[in-house]
Amino acid sequence: MSDLEIFGVPGSLRKNAYSLGLLRAAQELAPKDMHIEVADIRAFPVFNQDDEDHPPEPVRVFQEKARAAHAILFSLNEHNYGLSAAEKNALDWGSRPYPKSAWNGKPAGIMSASIGMIGGARAQYELRQSMVFLNMFPINRPEVIVPFAAQKFDANGRLTDETSRKFISDHLTELARFTRVLLRIP
Ligand SMILES: Cc1cc2nc3c(=O)[nH]c(=O)nc-3n(C[C@H](O)[C@H](O)[C@H](O)COP(=O)(O)O)c2cc1C
């Protein structure tokens, strides 16, 4: 059985971001046949269509890795009841130039965390709306939503909450199954 290459996209530029913490947990919990690389989106300028044919180097590398991956794992925070600007910016850069979108036809997982009680769920639904246009195929369940994040990570940013870790583990198992079915990977 060939391995699955997953590209993880965080929603935050913050050093100790919970969205990054979820991706690190996913790397720990990934099934044996899955490798997760986490994108570095910190140096991305705000998307400017004048530059889409010659994107800055960090964006070019990001697009290349996203295109090469079998599936994408988005890890969201939530800003003002929607996607953070950082996440939307990464999504926009990845989608261009049309029709060479890095997202087209990709299976996807979605996780989110927030210090609030809704756990970033609203940002998940905003992302799902964009995925219709982007022609992405997110798995529906199990969902990974981590509310009250400040109580679920330790001082080093490690996700310690066992229930959340189990949801991530199950999410990744389903992402692997779904990716193999959708892309016909034995
Ligand atoms: C500008 C801003 C807006 C926010 N809006 C929301 C929100 O709408 N819903 C929510 O649950 N948390 C909101 N928060 C709290 C964030 O979810 C929380 O700070 C989270 O830790 C940010 O994600 P990160 O840890 O990945 O950086 C907001 C935080 C900031 C700075």
Task: Give the type of residue at 3.
Answer: D
Domains of the chain: which residue ranges?
Answer: 4-183
**Is the shortest distance between the CB of 114 and ligand 1 below 6 Å?**
yes
Does 1 or 69 have the greater pLDDT score?
Answer: 69
CATH class of residue range 4-183: alpha beta
Reduced to 3 DSSP states, what percent helix, strand and coil does the chain have, rounded to the nearest 5? 40, 20, 40
Q: How confident is the model at residue 170 (pLDDT cuts 50, 70, 90)?
A: very high
> How far does the centroid of ligand 1 lie from the alpha carbon of residue 176, in Å?
29
Q: Is there an atom of ligand 1 within 6 Å of 84 CB?
A: no
| pTM of the entire predicted model | 0.98
Which residue owns the Cα nearest ligand 1 atom 29? 79
Q: How sure is the predictor about 1, in pLDDT bands with cuts at 50, 70 and 90?
A: confident
In whole angstroms, what is the distance from residue 95 CA to residue 34 CA?
24
Is residue 13 lining ligand 1, measured as CB closer than 6 Å?
Answer: no
Integer distance in angstroms from the first to the last C-alpha of the chain?
6
pLDDT digits over 127-140, tens only? 999 999 999 999 99
Q: Find the 14 Cα to ligand 1 centroid distance in Å.
A: 11
* Contact partners, residue 161, CB within 8 Å, separation at least 6: 146, 151, 152, 153
pLDDT tens, position by position, 67-117: 999 999 999 999 999 999 999 999 999 999 999 999 999 999 999 999 999
Query: Could you tell me the distance, in angstroms and rounded to a whole number, from the CA of residue 186 to the centre of ligand 1?
Result: 40
Q: How far is CA 75 from CA 50, 78, 96, 136, 185, in A?
A: 28, 10, 21, 15, 24
Q: What is the pLDDT of residues 13-63, one digit of tens each?
A: 999 999 999 999 999 999 999 999 999 999 999 999 999 999 999 999 999
Residue nearest to atom 1 of ligand 1 (CA): 79
